[in-house]
Amino acid sequence: MSEISERVARVLDDPENWPRDPKEAVALQRRLADRVRVEPLDVDAVRLVAGLDVSYSTDNTALSAAAVVMDVRTLEVVESVAISSEPSFPYISGLFGFRESPPVLEALGQLKVTPDVYLCDGFGLAHPRRFGVACHLGVLLDLPVVGSAKSVLFGRHSVPGEERGSWTPMVAGRSEVVPDSFALADQGKEVLGRVLRTRRGVKPVYVSVGHRVDLEGAAELVLRLSPKYRVPEPVRHADKLCGEHRKAVLAAKEGRTD
């Protein structure tokens, strides 16, 4: 059993990690948020990154989760795993960690290699309770996790410049675009993430710390992993694999072979 498999097994087998009641889940989020650690990330030392994503069926009653490990230097896929599952927690904004973490963990548990960093399609500290799915996975596994989302759940920000690599800070507050979030950060507002332009003229992504990384390193890693597209390559590949797996499962249920 690999190191990641052992960690996953311990996390999934502990019932205290998986409350069924939303109020209990919120309370657990608040407790676990105190365990999030921000640590310097040496981006140059990172070799393997696992992209993590989840895809739902049209009626939200089934999902596929994928983990795609890529070599940072070559952007070649080293290993990939996809699984299908049924959600065990309601679809509630702000509590996706309890719904999506179990299948993602199941996929991670099947990996034979051990990634250096995990890149989650979702939020980390950029969350009302500072505990998005990237924090959730990171704290439970005690591994470095970065959150990279395509939309905003929580945080005030201004629009970054059009050039690749341009960014603005996301500060605490309800989701809204403001004239100058740098000024808000300078005034001492809590910085939760970065709005990062990974491709000129294309919508930015929203980067935040999950666990055991720092924001500067997280943003640099996301930018390095996005040489051509808006979404970083490991997450883009995981998203594609999720869709393919979900379609294959549906076809198998319907008795099709296409």
What digits encode the pLDDT tens for the residues 48-91?
Answer: 999 999 999 888 788 999 999 999 999 999 999 999 999 999 99
CA–CA distance, 178 with 180 (Å, rounded to integer): 6
Please report, for the chain, how many H helices and E strands are present, in that order. 7, 10
Phi-psi label, residue 94: left if phi above 0, alpha if psi -120 to 50, beta otherwise? left
Would you say residue 258 lies in a domain?
A: no
Residue 50 · residue 67 · CB < 8 Å = yes
Q: By the 8 A CB rule, do 10 and 108 touch?
A: no
Decide if 189 is inside a domain: yes
- Give the separation between CA 133 and CA 201, rounded to whole angstroms: 28
Residue 238 has pLDDT above 90, yes or no: yes
The CATH number of the domain holding residue 165 is: 3.30.2170.10
Return the residue matching tokens 């009641």.
21
Number of domains in the chain: 1
β-bridge partners, 168: 195
Q: Is residue 42 a part of any domain in this protein?
A: yes
Query: Which spans in 34-180 are helix H?
Result: 96-108, 133-141
Q: How far apart are CA 79 and CA 213, in angstroms?
A: 23
Asked if residue 95 is part of any domain, the answer here is: yes
4-38 pLDDT per residue, tens: 999 999 999 999 999 999 999 999 999 999 999 99
Neighbours of 18 (CB within 10 A): 16
- The residue among 70, 67, 52 whose CA lies nearest residue 227 is 70
Residues spanned by the domain of 49:
3-253
Is the pLDDT at 117 greater than 80, yes or no? Answer: yes
Mean pLDDT within 125-129: 98
Task: Say if 61 falls within a structural domain.
Answer: yes
pLDDT at 258 over 80: no
Instruction: Output the pTM of the full model.
Output: 0.95
Q: Binding site annotation covers 258? A: no
pLDDT in tens, 183-223: 999 999 999 999 999 999 999 999 999 999 999 999 999 99
Q: For residue 249, what pLDDT is reported?
A: 81
Mean pLDDT (whole number) for 227-243? 98
59 is in an annotated binding site: no
Q: What is the mean pLDDT of the chain?
A: 96
24 located within any domain: yes
Rounded to whole angstroms, the Cα distance separating 187 from 176 reads: 18
Q: Assess if residue 13 is contained within a domain.
A: yes
pLDDT at residue 61, rounded to an integer: 80
